[in-house]
């Protein structure tokens, strides 16, 4: 489908098929499932594990929506943009710890989000509190740190 704006991929529907999880393979082979995000016919991919393949398991992947990796990268970029925008007026830089996710709780499920690290002259605890509240309010981030170590 044409004209899907990248923000449309934030609804958690990319690669979500419009059929139940355990739909037999023969069913989606004869009548393709459709992506709940963009409506495209979904492709059947083999599982990596031979055992799962033999059990008849398969994965449905949308050929149009960005991959999970691409979505995660896009989310990190957006979080960083917002964090920088919030930190800058207080003379602080913001970065995301590479490869580190913080565990939180959203509803009944664990959520994982990047950790924002603030770097610069200590602005006082009240200001740090303000910044961390604004960052966690405007993004899925659940942990903001302030760097004390002087080494870059
Ligand atoms: Zn899609």
Distance (angstroms) between ligand 1 centre and the Cα of 144 equals 32
Other CB atoms within 10 Å distance of the CB of residue 87: 25
Query: Using CB atoms within 10 A of its CB, is residue 125 exposed (0-12), middle (13-18) or buried (19+)?
Result: exposed
- Distance, in Å, from the CA atom of 142 to the CA atom of 116, rounded to the nearest integer, reads 9
pLDDT tens digits, 65-99: 998 889 888 889 999 999 999 999 999 999 999 98
Q: Which residues surround ligand 1, an ion (CB under 5 A)?
A: 35, 37-38, 40, 62, 64-65
Distance (angstroms) between ligand 1 centre and the Cα of 41 equals 8
- Distance, in Å, from the CA atom of 34 to the CA atom of 44, rounded to the nearest integer, reads 11
Q: Sign of torsion, CA 135 137 139 141? A: positive
Q: For the whole model, what pTM was predicted?
A: 0.70
Across residues 12-24, what is the average pLDDT? 91
pLDDT at 2 over 60: no
- Distance, in Å, from the CA atom of 22 to the CA atom of 38, rounded to the nearest integer, reads 21
Domains and CATH numbers, the chain: 13-61 (no CATH), 68-147 (3.30.300.10)
N- to C-terminal Cα separation, the chain: 46
């Amino acid at each position: 489908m044409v004209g899907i704006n990248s923000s449309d991929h934030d609804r958690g529907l990319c690669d979500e098929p419009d059929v139940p999880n355990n739909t037999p393979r023969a069913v989606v082979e004869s009548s393709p499932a459709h992506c709940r995000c963009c409506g495209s016919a979904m492709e059947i991919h083999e599982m990596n594990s031979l055992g799962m393949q033999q059990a008849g398991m398969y994965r449905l992947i949308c050929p149009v929506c960005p991959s999970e990796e691409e979505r995660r990268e896009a989310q990190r970029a957006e979080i960083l943009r917002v964090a920088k925008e919030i930190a800058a007026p207080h003379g602080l830089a913001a970065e995301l710890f590479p490869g580190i996710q913080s565990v939180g709780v959203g509803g009944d499920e664990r959520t994982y989000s990047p950790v924002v690290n603030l770097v610069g002259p200590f602005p006082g605890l009240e200001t740090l509190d303000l910044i961390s509240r604004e960052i966690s309010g405007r993004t899925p981030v659940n942990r903001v740190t302030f760097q004390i170590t002087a080494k870059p």
